[in-house]
Chain A
Amino acid sequence: MTERGPVDEAVLDVAEGISAEPITQWDLFVTRLRRHRFAMIAVFYLAFIAFVALTAPLFTCAKNDTFCGNGPIEMSGVTTILMLVITAGGVYLAYTSFRSGLRGGGIALTLMTFVCALLLISSWGVIDLPHVNHYADQLPDESGRILVNIAPRASLPMGTDDLGRDVLSRVIHGGRASLAVGIVVGGLVALLGTVIGALAGYYPGVVDQSLMRFTDLVLGLPLLPVAIVVGRVLPELQFLPGFLKQGAWGIAVLLGLLVWGALARIVRAEFLSLREKEFVEAARAAGANDRRIIFRHILPNAMSPIIVQTTLIVGTAIIVEAALSFLGFGVRPPIPTWGGMAASGAAIAVRGFWWELVFSASALITTVLAINFIGDGLRDALDPTQTIERK
């Protein structure tokens, strides 16, 4: 045997391409996700949308709004600069932590908590929105007339709607409803789908049977018709607390309660197969209790489908919320939502005033598209079997 020290051997190994330093799953995941160009763009786009929606009150007050004296776009220079700096900082922070900090997972978690908190606060604003009277956003001209249906121009980049409200500020505020739906549905689906699927997959027999029958039942409910009924009666349900009746929260919770079935099935299937794997047997033999096996051994291995499926369900839920608002059974006017704006925009677009429709629709489509891209990117990144043939 030739003499080689351990260090020098490792160096040689790397140099000769026998083995690189151990690559963790997480590194692989991040590398693959970063290679998915669309998904990366989508991440930043969503972060941007969330940020803008969060800070909406800062820079979308109308001229004669008593809360802030500046017009929507004629913001003071300071506000503009502040806004740009904050945006750039946020994007930079997200970018750097994504490049370097994610390895440990700790910083990633912090970042995600931060973003979630941001999103939560931002969508919390939806509750208060009825108090921000958007009819007050109407823009009068010098002689005091309300300027309705003004085409986009430098001072009003998205024009005004048929009531003279600034479309840009409404598009920005409208994002809050979609975000609220995204967060609540994402959370509820991940929670309900995982818990129910995990219990059903781990405890065969009565638990499995009854949970799965229940899941079948929920899956059997036709989503849109049921959502419409609930959306219609939601503001009139006396037993609900106020914040669920108005704005996007109630709709979000409702959708979350309706759409977890598919995830539960997937998680159950995952648990069924993982339960039989050697490492679980080994853990069981080593005396681990059920809780430990479920949380420490099986769940981490079932994360990929949970994450991917939840992302895709969130996209669907945002579309359904928009559809409800479009039909008039979702978030009620005057609270701005993209779906609701598309409805009123469609009515005036026939007369040639296309902007409200086009801008609200674009915001909606790009957001859902971004979410779907992220879902796709996550699927590619988390499923190692798919990557090898990609050119």
Chain B
Amino acid sequence: MADPLLNVEDLRTYFSTEEGVVKAVDGVSFQVQAGERRGVVGESGCGKSVTAMSIMRLIEPPAGEIVTGKIEFDGRDLLQLPESEMQDVRGGEIAMIFQDPMTALNPVYTIGDQLMETILLHQDVSKSQAREIAINTLSDVQIPKAANVMEDYPHQFSGGMRQRVMIAMGLSCDPKLLIADEPTTALDVTTQAQIMNLMLELAEQRNTAVLLITHDLGVVAGFCDNIQVMYAGSIVERGTGDEIFHNPQHPYTWGLLGSMTRLDESQQERLNSVRGAPPSLINPPKGCRFGPRCDFATDICREALPILHQSQEGQKVACHRSDELDLKAMTVGVG
């Protein structure tokens, strides 16, 4: 395998709050290859966004801090880069798209201003060239009459259109990696699919790797090469879309799959879903963090923290009992 584009090793990002230290990301390691589409799923608060923000080094001290870890991107450790070089990486080599397009654009500048700002920042072009690039990218994201909307303000746009602008802004400098943090959650269902297709298509054309964050397994299943499942600040299972979707090894993944809405659901009982609430990230439960909510927990689960290892089925999983459990058999109608 070639050198990965992004190599995250044992990343730990903590926040200090009134209540204590929130271990939002606690020992996450993964790699993304050039051009790959990688999905990250997990329920709300499991640390997906914080992982992404850590890669971009957007965690703001003093509240949050990357305690340890290594983030290698294209051969450089981002955590060691001086701020000025990091600024070139942000937006230039790694671009990020956020969840809420309604608030992600600065209300007092025109779309054109904000697009051209990025282009001028990362490319050595004149103002008029930048304008041209901006207009081209806007038409790439299928905004009609791209030249005319350059002078418009964000509030004149719908949510879907604004997210297109955000995508244009992200892709305008041909980044190597595009991090999309729940890019379609705030949009209505019909727009969601359009935007997702558009984004991935454009990324593919430019050979841009995509790190797609969502809490919707259905979305990543359709779009991603590889999927990693996060739970309470760490990765609990990682594999190809097929592996994760058809043959989950971790009880949490299995539960997530079970809680997905299915067309044929009315005909059967939902056997598996995730009960209870996510654990505290300040005092995580001892042993397996999923233990308190896991139907298969045994004594060893309460003692030792399972680490991510190769399972017999091929994907990696962090569960003591993954090999003895046959989750697939217990699932009715999945697959």
Contacts and interface: CB of A to CB of B under 8 A. Distances in A.
17 contacts: A2-B297, A2-B298, A12-B292, A16-B279, A16-B285, A16-B286, A16-B292, A17-B284, A17-B285, A18-B280, A19-B277, A387-B18, A388-B18, A390-B17, A390-B18, A391-B17, A391-B63
- Per CB-CB distance, the 8 closest pairs between chain A and chain B, nearest first, are A17-B280, A16-B285, A17-B283, A16-B292, A18-B292, A389-B63, A1-B295, A18-B279
A35 interface: yes
Contacts of B283: 17
Interface in A1-50: 1-2, 12-13, 16-19, 35
B155 interface: no
A109 B36 CA distance: 62
Nearest to A19: B277
Interface residues of A, number: 14
Interface of A: 1-2, 12-13, 16-19, 35, 387-391
A387 B19 CA distance: 10
B10 to A, nearest CB: 23
Contacts of A389: 17, 63
Interface in B252-303: 276-277, 279-280, 282-286, 291-293, 295, 297-298
A379 to B, nearest CB: 16
A2 B293 contact: no
A388 B64 CA distance: 12
Interface of B: 16-18, 62-63, 276-277, 279-280, 282-286, 291-293, 295, 297-298
A12 B282 CA distance: 17
Given A2-B298, A18-B280, A18-B292, 5 more contacts: A2-B295, A13-B276, A17-B280, A35-B18, A391-B17
B63 A17 contact: no
Contact of B293 (A17, A18, A35): A18
A13 B276 CA distance: 10
A31 B17 CA distance: 15
A9 B210 CA distance: 42
A388 B276 CA distance: 23
B62 A391 contact: yes
Contacts of A390: 17-18
Contacts of B18: 35, 387-388, 390-391
Contacts of B292: 12-13, 16, 18
Given A2-B295, A12-B292, A17 B17 contact: no
Residue among B282, B284, B285, B297 with the highest chain A CB neighbour number at 10 A: B285
A17 B16 contact: no
B295 A18 contact: no
B279 A388 contact: no
A390 B17 CA distance: 6
Contacts of B62: 391
Residue among A1, A16, A18, A390 with the highest chain B CB neighbour number at 10 A: A16
